[in-house]
Amino acid sequence: MQININSDKTIDRNAGLDEHVQSVVNNALHRFGEQITSVEVHLSDNVGQKSVDGDNRVLMEARVTGYKPIAVSDHAATLHQSIGGAADKLKRALDSALGRLHDKDKRHAADPVVATADTDEDEQ
């Protein structure tokens, strides 16, 4: 899984922040393995836009093989909190989406084949 980190001009990016993002995303999404090809992470600090949930916003978008991209965002008082919150939301969204996809595949595989059987009633 490739993790691409982007930030706006209000975020002071450094190696420690990038490592933190990589670690949080990998820990949250490791169980999805090869199903996820890439994750886009967008970090921003809405200094001028005070929100009830906090100034820091993280948007994460996962590209899943055979499925449309799944995106979530989180606002929090600190950047680290919003990174963790977005990763948790993305994990739940992937659980839901891939679980539905898996259930749909299981249902189709379990559909009984309707067979017509000859009965002896016609002969009587």
Domain ranges of the chain: 2-103
Question: What pLDDT shows up at residue 76?
Answer: 93
Give me the amino acid identity at 42: H
CATH fold group of domain 2-103: Double Stranded RNA Binding Domain (3.30.160)
Q: What is the mean pLDDT of residues 98-113?
A: 56
The backbone torsions φ and ψ at residue 98, rounded to the nearest 5 degrees and listed phi first, read: -75, -30
pTM: 0.76
Q: Looking at 9-18, 29-38, 110-119, which range is the least confident one?
A: 110-119
CA distances from 21 to 58, 62, 63, 66 (A): 10, 14, 17, 25
pLDDT digits (tens, 9 = 90+) for 19-57: 999 999 999 999 998 899 999 999 998 765 555 556 899
First to last CA, the chain: 66
Q: How many residues does the chain have?
A: 124
